[in-house]
Amino acid sequence: MAGQLLSAVSDYASIPESYVRPESQRPRLNEVIRGANVPTIDLGSGDEPQIIAQVADACRSFGFFQVVNHGVPLESMQKMMAVASEFFRLPHEEKAKHYSDDPAKKMRLSTSFNIRKETVRNWRDYLRLHCYPLEEFVPGWPSNPASFRDVVSTYCREVRRLGFRILRAISLSLELEEGYMAKVLGEQEQHMAVNYYPKCPEPELTYGLQAHTDPNALTILLQDPNVAGLQVLKDGKWIAVNPQPDALVINIGDQLQALSNGRYRSVWHRAVVNSDRERISVASFLCPCNSVVINPPEKLVGDGDRPVYRTYTYEEYYKKFWSRNLDDDHCLELFES
Ligand code: OGA
Ligand code: NI
């Protein structure tokens, strides 16, 4: 029912009970570290050995980094943000046509995370799109706003190119052949979550998106340049990832953690909300082909050791991920060998 959407109501004086986290699970916003930031890597520096060393370091220690001079034109990023914001400003009846809470749907507008499984709601609506191959999916995307399909297709193509550049740097940083990761991940799907976090009157009691790790291979996040909200867990503390207008945020997903045999980390992250401003983010996910068997290369498994995770297919993993509540442990732990 589309009435579930947060954006069905224009203003909230307080948050409904179903969004209130128990005391022990609240975000404790005053304990968040705001001065530190995840590393920023300049992909246009021309110093490849340095870029690869920085990628190695960031993937090992944070599982997150920002990139600048990444090849996605600023104009494309701005248009993507603008069309996302225009979409969420459409009248409720217009958006309601796209509503679904079925995670199997390849285009849907939904709310929270997985309302079929969860006990407490998240202060988020989101539009989820499959984006590869574009020819197959674009005809099913929203046609309102009128520029939506064009703007989002262009952004998707550019982001995919960046994703493969990063997979190459990741392969090299693990001393694998440059095409290794792209090859083992197969013909990758690309999904997008356009996240809309409305203003929230009681941001201390709830989340935009509760702590989770991403189940896919690699995530590229376009953040609202003016509103912070993303936080990552490092050494038991939450660190705010402050937006930089020209940067994109990259994070390692569970599959790269498994393929690197645990060297690189798919880190817990969350989005918090605030009472002053709504926030939009656009997450692009590179997802292994469903039939791909996830198994680290021998080179990354010590002599006589077993891989950290058992062999599985991505299809098996993805089903497991969506069958759970995000509050549970790291999904990858269920696949330890
Ligand atoms: C996600 C995500 C963070 C954000 O969509 O998986 O982590 O800042 N989003 O919106
Ligand atoms: Ni995420």
Host H or E run for residue 250: strand 248-252
Contact 273, 184 (CB under 8 A): no
Encode the chain (337 residues) as per-residue pLDDT tens digits.
778 899 888 788 899 999 999 999 999 999 999 988 899 999 999 999 999 999 999 999 999 999 999 999 999 999 999 999 999 999 999 999 999 999 889 999 999 998 888 899 999 999 999 999 999 999 999 999 999 999 999 999 999 999 999 999 999 999 999 999 999 999 999 999 999 999 999 999 999 999 999 999 999 999 999 999 999 999 999 999 999 989 999 999 999 999 999 999 999 999 999 999 999 999 999 999 999 999 999 999 977 778 999 999 999 999 998 888 776 788 999 999 8
Classify the phi-psi angles of 236: left when phi > 0, otherwise alpha if psi is within -120 to 50, otherwise beta: left
Vertex 183, ends 151 and 315: CA angle to 5°? Answer: 75
Asked if omega into 145 is within 30° of 0 (cis), the reply is: yes
Distance 269 CA to ligand 1 centre (A): 8
Which atom belonging to ligand 1 lies closest to the Cα atom of 283? Answer: 5
Q: What per-residue string of b and e applies to 6-15 under the rule 16 or more CB within 10 Å gives b? A: bbbeeeeeeb
Which atom belonging to ligand 1 lies closest to the Cα atom of 197? Answer: 10
Contact 259, 181 (CB under 8 A): yes
Distance 328 CA to ligand 1 centre (A): 17
